[in-house]
Amino acid sequence: MGDAKYDVLGIGNAIVDVLSRTDDAFLAQRGLSKGGMQLIDEAQAQALYADMAPAVEISGGSAANTIAGIASLGGRTAFFGKVRNDQLGDVFAHDIRSLGVTFETAAATMGPATARCLVLVTPDGERTMSTYLGASVGFGPDDVDDAVVAAAQVTYLEGYLWDPQEAKQAFRKAARTARDAGRMVSLSLSDAFCVDRFRGEFRELVRDDVDVLFANEAEIMSLYEVDSFDEAMQIVRKECRLAALTRSAAGCVITRGDEIHVVDAAKVDSVEDTTGAGDLFAAGFLRGLTQDFELTRCAELGALAAAEVISHIGARPEKDLSALAAEHGLV
């Protein structure tokens, strides 16, 4: 692959999460699909926010969370994503840069505000997300710095990029550049509803362009429109070089051709907030993969990072994941 300046480049929507606690009745009243992500416009965001309890603002964004996790595990990382030059944009940029992540995408100087995701956390720790994409929709092919893509061992993309039109073009450009440079392309399917919106295109992508796929049970079953996890797994084994399929407390399954591994979830005392669980699993897994760890060890690192992030509010790790991994004998 040649020398890589970065282990992983992440590309995704640059979002600040606004997290507050609620109950199931509130979700039902609002017609919100528990555990899912819906897109909302600015007026809807204002109306929902007005009804929400006091909140905490923490940097988020699916791929950005993954990159933050890899950085916390000691990996060399970069991120592309679009904020506006406003206070929440400054928060996003500060938080990711302070981890040592290279983040140089120019902030928008006009147009919609920095994207925010209104995250409602129910007592069971499940999160339900309503995202106002804001400035993220301004992310386009011109924001993809080919030199950075070519210098990254893995380019990691979130499925959510398929929602804003320009971002989708940026995704395609980055994937092509990475392939041409002999690098790996990795995709997270993001969300079962997102898969539903773009099933045909995602199937093609997975078959033709993706080296490492991340999906949870609902997403992979939605992708192939099957009713059981096992059926989905049999298909993805044939379609994709390497797939990491997560199943919450039931652990994960890793497939690479004939090779299949079933790895347990890491122990968590109390699940506070599942926001970022999948993102951090991907972080640990990719950190292992870019160090040529065995697949089971990659999965264990992913499980450990996911366990840390669901034990507190917010989708970014609170602990130094390198130290945590060392404690668990994984690095």
53 or 250: CB nearest its own copies: 53
Question: How many chain residues interact with its own copies (CB under 8 A)?
Answer: 26
90 or 209: CB nearest its own copies: 90
83 or 189: CB nearest its own copies: 83
Map the footprint of its own copies across residues 275-314, applying CB under 8 A.
314
Q: Does 94 bind its own copies (CB under 8 A)?
A: yes
CB of 87 to its own copies, least distance (A): 4
77 or 222: CB nearest its own copies: 77
Taking alpha carbons only, the member of 156, 112, 173 closest to residue 137 is 112
Map the footprint of its own copies across residues 32-51, applying CB under 8 A.
49-50
For 278, the token pair is 């999948």
226 or 271: CB nearest its own copies: 271
For 35, the token pair is 């555990």
74 or 159: CB nearest its own copies: 74
Q: Does 316 bind its own copies (CB under 8 A)?
A: yes
CB of 93 to its own copies, least distance (A): 10
Q: Where are the alpha helices (DSSP H) in the chain?
A: 24-30, 42-51, 62-72, 87-97, 146-150, 165-180, 192-197, 199-208, 217-224, 229-239, 277-289, 295-310, 321-327
- C-beta of residue 286 within 8 angstroms of C-beta of residue 8: yes
What number of other Cβ atoms are within 10 A of residue 2's Cβ?
9
Q: Which residue in the set 9, 37, 63, 113 belongs to the binding site for its own copies (CB under 8 A)?
A: 113
Q: What is the DSSP string of 243-294?
A: EEEE-GGG-EEEEETTEEEEEPPPP-S-----TTHHHHHHHHHHHHHTTT--
Q: Residue 99: CB partners within 8 Å, gap ≥ 6? A: 68, 71, 72
Q: Does 208 bind its own copies (CB under 8 A)?
A: no
Q: Does 186 bind its own copies (CB under 8 A)?
A: no
Q: Which residue in the set 21, 76, 82, 127 belongs to the binding site for its own copies (CB under 8 A)?
A: 21
CB of 306 to its own copies, least distance (A): 18
Q: Does 53 bind its own copies (CB under 8 A)?
A: yes
CB of 52 to its own copies, least distance (A): 6
Task: State which amino acid sits at residue 217.
Answer: E
Site string for its own copies, 54-93 (x = CB under 8 A): xxxxxx--------x-----------------xxx--x--
57 or 239: CB nearest its own copies: 57
Q: Which residue in the set 33, 98, 228, 296 belongs to the binding site for its own copies (CB under 8 A)?
A: 98
For 83, the token pair is 């904020």
Q: Residue 285: CB partners within 8 Å, gap ≥ 6? A: 214, 244, 298, 299, 301, 302
123 or 200: CB nearest its own copies: 123
Taking alpha carbons only, the member of 8, 15, 99 closest to residue 59 is 15
CB of 4 to its own copies, least distance (A): 25
Binding site residues, its own copies, CB under 8 A: 21, 49-50, 52-59, 68, 86-88, 91, 94-96, 98-99, 113-114, 314, 316, 318
